[in-house]
Structure 1
Amino acid sequence: MGKGDDTRARVLAQGLDIASEWGLESLTIGALADRAGLSKSGLYAHFTSKEDMQCQVLDAAADAFAAEVMLPAIALPRGLPRVEEIQERWMHWVTDLLPGGCPLIAASLAYDDREGPVRDRAVHHIERMVGAVERAATIAVDERHFARDLDTAAYAFEVWAIVMAYHQYSRLLRRPDAADLARRSFASLNARAAG
């Protein structure tokens, strides 16, 4: 990796922190330049516009999610062990790995009614996240850990619903029982999925 790639990676990491702490709208060229210790003109070497910068930060968030949640889960045996690991690591991702929570979830709320490339990028990454859960559930069906007639799309929907609720309960409501409630909800969902 060259110096330019190193700088870009460092800048995206700073952008990810800003987006996590303050939301994607707070991620401006000026704010990122200040945080990264670069000039605004220096940042324009990496981004063509504010929207391009926001999209690249969402890409960085998706890459970090894959590295922290999906790849370690895939290393486990097929089926229920992977599903449970995804659920546990997703909870860790929401509360422990970024200063202000998941920027993809934040973007899903801030851009749900706004058209444009930032919304499109958020949709793309969230669909990939939910799709990965659906594939993991399908593998659990194949491994006979889940019932043959499981609606894997509905299962993935419920996982996303629990993750969203956990995000709100832990970060917004600051409920001390948020993790326990989420784990119990996942256990109940997995028991129902097993038939």
Structure 2
Amino acid sequence: MSPRRSVADTLETRQRILERSLAIASAEGLEGLTIGRLADELGMSKAGLLGHFGTKEGLQLAVVDEAAAVFSREVPQRVKQLPSGLPRLKAVCEAWVSYLEREVLPGGCFFTAATTEFDGRSGRVRDALAGMNALWRRDLRIHIRRAVSDGDLPAGTDVDQLVYEIIGIMLALNHFLQLERDSAAPVRARTALERLFSAR
């Protein structure tokens, strides 16, 4: 086997591990990931699987990064062609609703589940989750501030309050989809978002 093929095979195996791990973690939490279970499901040895990540924590951190990549592809990257400001903000929110509605991950929003799991802890995984959430809030603030400067939102708009309310709607959407199995939840989320923006 050529060195190039070997590297490609290693990357492919790593990606396969991450995709399966993310699917499990979205439904059962990051602590639901066990090296033994993954090795059995993927037909690998425990040592071979650990060789890609070093430790269980290393695997968990890699899963957080993979979840961020999936979310980025499914939400902000889908609407990046739109101008920053209110058009992008509304489109981002619609893409976010669609992401949850389409059940891209079997357990719904990975970050909602993982944040609930780790919010009261300390450590690298908790810090990685907090960092990803902070980056997403920053992006939302950028679009809101641009909408204010463009005159599409009132000059007195409380940026942090609007971010809080948008995230609250999405948390409710994930809850009603996952726990209540409420098929009307996406419509309710869209209605709530429309009222949120039109009220300003």
| Class of the TM-score when normalised by the shorter of the 2 chains | over 0.9
Q: What does residue 66 of structure 1 align with?
A: 72
Q: What does residue 11 of structure 2 align with?
A: 5
Q: What does residue 159 of structure 2 align with?
A: 152
Q: Distance in 1 between matches of 2:121 and 2:80?
A: 34
Q: What does residue 35 of structure 1 align with?
A: 41
Percent identical? 35
1:94 to partner: Cα distance:
2.3
Q: What does residue 129 of structure 1 align with?
A: 136
Q: Distance in 2 between matches of 1:150 and 1:10?
A: 44
Residues 2-48 of structure 1 deviation map (CA, whole Å, 9 limit, x = unaligned): 22112111211111111112221101212222233321111111112
Q: What does residue 105 of structure 1 align with?
A: 112
Q: What does residue 143 of structure 1 align with?
A: 150
Q: Distance in 2 between matches of 1:149 and 1:2?
A: 53
- Write out the 4+ residue segments of structure 1 that deviate beyond 3 Å after TM superposition: none
Q: Distance in 2 between matches of 1:85 and 1:126?
A: 19
1:138 to partner: Cα distance:
1.5
Q: Distance in 2 between matches of 1:78 and 1:149?
A: 19
Q: What does residue 31 of structure 2 align with?
A: 25
Q: Distance in 2 between matches of 1:110 and 1:119?
A: 9
1:116 to partner: Cα distance:
1.4
1:17–1:100 contact (8 Å) kept in structure 2:
yes
Aligned residues between the structures: 193
- The TM-score with structure 2 as length reference comes to 0.90
Q: Distance in 1 between matches of 2:70 and 2:26?
A: 12
Q: Distance in 2 between matches of 1:37 and 1:20?
A: 21
1:98 to partner: Cα distance:
0.8
Could you tell me which amino acid in structure 1 is paired with residue 114 of structure 2? Answer: A
Q: Distance in 1 between matches of 2:36 and 2:58?
A: 14
**Structure 2 CA distance for partners of 1:132 and 1:35, relative to 1, 3 Å:** farther
- The TM-score with structure 1 as length reference comes to 0.92
**Structure 2 CA distance for partners of 1:180 and 1:39, relative to 1, 3 Å:** same
Could you tell me which amino acid in structure 1 is paired with residue 120 of structure 2? Answer: D
Gap runs ≥5 in structure 2 = 1-6
1:106 to partner: Cα distance:
0.3
1:73–1:83 contact (8 Å) kept in structure 2:
no
